[in-house]
Structure 1
């Protein structure tokens, strides 16, 4: 048992070290370099048509990423490393393109309502729940790189070591523990000291949403593979077992996903209503203060 705990400690250490190294390299090296490239591009282009080129290129890359995700399917495809390379390149492209886009608008003093994004903002649809959470989903999807990559690299390292089946099983049980840490915990670095704190509610919701989607996708493809094995006679499992197993897992994941979404929607509406009520009260208070000031001036003039 002590040997098992030793392997578990090694596995946790590997995950933590890989996550810290990746985050430091990403935030201290990759992001600054990409931002410099984006600012350089923004200074070199002048035609206002570049505004639409930036927006069209981002939409095209986003569509390409969706197709790549469907094609490679990281959890079931042997060439899953290609997906991580594509995801990493997409993140770098997004940072460069976004920096160039923002600086290009500032340098050329482009109207806020120009361009596709400017038009959407002018309609104020960004205040709606769907678009608000879509932007948050994209942000957290990029951050999920720090969840998937350390696990993927750790699994590669584990398969190269001389593990017993028992040790390997205990180590795999730490994957959901690490996932929960990614969902709820964040680190803040002050000088050379890392401090732990909890994520904001919106971040926790969206990360749980992503995890549930991964569970649904994995369960679906795993059930499909088991069903094919049952049909061709390469599995001792019955069709009823495969169906009940997959249906139960998918139902639970979808149920939790919908429950989280409904709760988040209600919270979003409440916060929006509270904000509108606060603004209305502040407006009414300002009107009241103006009226009091006006009446005071009238009395003062009458006394004169």
Structure 2
């Protein structure tokens, strides 16, 4: 009888403990958020892979050996973890979606010439699981969207409020505030800042007591929303920044690209070999020696929470990028 009591008591204690642990873990909002995010990614990837299989390939789907690449002269690239694929833009503005193994082209299309001509590409970022934005050196923002596994250009807009002294490096997107941001190195002023731009609307105030004719006339004068610089935040060297990194930042800051990880902005100086980290809240920057020595790298991106440098741009292969930290 005592043995049975002990056994039942032990089982009850173990089960109660497990239930309590589950309740404690799943009651945390951040835990639930991560679980929901994971399932959402799995669902998105499943739907995307199904859509990709249904789309007839317009280009050879298999990437041959690196000696004979189909994708040449890479301008920028990033990793889209929502679909588990690499997104690549070449010098001639051809856009590719490549499988996570780097061995298959899932989709591609050519960005055509338009009223707003495209100069060199300064940055590239994910807006959401279905949208990518490109920022050119002549301050044109190109929006590319995916529908049923097919990518296409949605629109291109000129960023208003820029100056001839602005020099943008990289592109990021704040999903909560719906703002784009970029590292801006204004050499003429010796100033480094994070420049933000978003859709803006100059609303005309209409007197509710005005006549209907007057109201209609004012509404006709209302300009549509436009993309514009909304704020500029100067970045200073952090108090604990290494002296050599601080000297390089203040004298020869040469950032390439931009990557966001865990709330911080990362950029790489592939000449002085410093990996810089910007805290947007404190508006400060720190720097460490980049490892390995990725001289001449052309970009930086995040994959599975790890930073990578784009080291080979004449052709795309699994050797085009390498992890850094």
TM over 0.5: no
Per the shorter chain, which TM-score range? under 0.3
TM-score by length of 1: 0.25
Structure of larger gyration radius = 1
TM-score by length of 2: 0.23
Structure with the larger RCO, 1 or 2 (CA within 8 Å, 6+ apart):
1
Q: Which structure's residues are more often helix, by fraction? A: 1
Q: Which structure's residues are more often strand, by fraction? A: 2
